[in-house]
Copies of this chain bind each other. A is one copy, B any other.
Amino acid sequence: MTLTGQMLIGQHAITGSREAIRAIDPATDKPLEPAYAGGTEAQVDQACALASAAFDSYRETPLAARAQFLEAIANEIEALGDELIERAVAETGLPRPRIQGERGRTCQQLRTFARTVRAGEWLDVRVDNALPERQPLPRPDLRQRQVPLGPVAVFGASNFPLAFSVAGGDTASAFAAGCPVIVKAHGAHPGTSELVGRAVARAVKTSGLHEGVFSLLFGSGREVGIALVSDPRIKAVGFTGSRSGGMALCKAAQARPEPIPVYAEMSSINPVLLFPAALQARGEALAQGFVTSLTQGAGQFCTNPGLVIAHQGAALERFISTAADLVQHSPAQTMLTPGIFTAYKAGVDLMRAETVAIGLKGETPNQCQAHLFVTQAQDFLRDPTLQAEMFGAASLVVQCADDNEIRQVIEHLEGQLTATLHLDDADLESARALLPMLERKAGRLLVNGWPTGVEVCDAMVHGGPFPATSDPRSTSVGTAAILRFLRPVCYQDFPDSLLPAALKHGNPLQLRRLLDGQRED
């Protein structure tokens, strides 16, 4: 297939007429053809009109049909073959095995949501049968199910060109919930976006769905992005990216005559706590694990371990010196975009903490040198810039004088995606005492692991208090993400023929309902 530079408005390939961008190969700083012209307001309007027209039919697709659609997308992505891998590698500078792995994850994610759709638990069916004889007043027949919110605008991330982009987690979960999706493609990987977008559009067609179920737009966040979020037919937003980008979308969503929910995954430094016994027993191994996690993918993960908290002393010094040695020998890695490289460089250059190690210098453009910094708890507590996210392989060790300083540092943290505890048996009680604080601060807590690597499964939470996300009540990875795009509707005294299948008296979907206060077997 030849890339065309065209957007997809439903089944129609259309060339935008606003300023065009080209992807840049960050390994060479060379632009990649073709040009992708931005969409106009009229084109945003067209995509929204189609999505709105598709909503009522798409949201009532039988569960099996909707699951098959998700599986069809996965099949179409796999059928893109090597062209997809090559384009994604060129646009992101990420190594080929990483992109291949990410494709597997993306397709598995779609198939996992297919399983979740079929199981139907997300419909959360509740039935309270009529009690016509009740005194003083009879009870009517009341039945509740979840319905999708409506068309969803999805903004892909730069760092997962497949798993968090056009057919990534936000799109998969919105489709699973029954929402049409309009994707605003990330400017860093437009070719990858076009390929995947066409795969989704083919799945829409072969599944016999209304074309408005999916559109793909190009253009700037400030123009196309804000126009999309402001359109009255859009009912929710999924976003992964920077804090400033996420907050701009939140602001636009709140300024609408009808405000809508925004699920923005934004900023996290993922504190790692090293407890004394663990640090004493295996400081070198911890340093090794830490630097591997820190430098993986040039540190370009939302869950990158950007902060280490521990008691000062000889054991922590050994950890720091081992980690510093590893960082110093870590090779430079190409970052995703020149912009990300520039921001990283500015961040580490301005860092107000002691630099203890810098990784090897790169020889090609946009290469990230890992950085390790050290500071004291009191300085960390005084200077809020020390907990600003530096997107890349940089981390800060905070040395604490005692348990009290550790508590203060944790309490001082903004909301996080993850918090990690490295502990041995002797540390259990200290860890237990900190858990309530950590649960308030983060969406995922790990023991003796590293936060990079986010499993797509039922129990995952990739979310957390602000500014990790704009809405801590949900996750953007894992099957619970379907819940973000639903709302409850109650049907009172409906004749059976008017009830949706999920609520009919005969329970044709064989759901385990909450029936008169009891869960069915």
Contacts and interface: CB of A to CB of B under 8 A. Distances in A.
A488 interface: yes
Stoichiometry, as copies per complex, reads 2
Contact of A498 (B139, B431, B443, B444): B431
Interface in A59-78: 59-60
A144 B495 contact: no
9 contacts: A60-B436, A128-B458, A142-B459, A258-B465, A258-B467, A444-B490, A459-B490, A463-B487, A521-B521
A132 interface: no
Contact of A480 (B126, B127, B250, B494): B126
Interface string A465-491: 111001111110000100000111111
B487 A472 contact: yes
Nearest to A435: B498
A150 interface: yes
Nearest to A470: B259
A81 interface: no
A448 interface: yes
Nearest to A473: B487
Contact of A455 (B124, B139, B437, B447): B139
A30 interface: no
Interface residues of A, number: 80
B128 A448 contact: no
Kindly name the residue among A101, A136, A473, A521 whose own CB sees the greatest number of chain B CB atoms within 10 A. Answer: A473
Contacts of A147: 439
Given A121-B519, A445-B491, A459-B490, 16 more contacts: A56-B437, A59-B436, A119-B519, A137-B453, A250-B254, A258-B467, A428-B495, A442-B489, A444-B491, A447-B493, A458-B517, A459-B514, A460-B490, A461-B490, A463-B487, A521-B521
A463 B146 CA distance: 13
A199 to B, nearest CB: 24
Nearest to A420: B492
A466 B259 contact: yes
Nearest to A137: B453
A480 to B, nearest CB: 6
A141 to B, nearest CB: 9
A449 B514 contact: no
Nearest to A497: B428
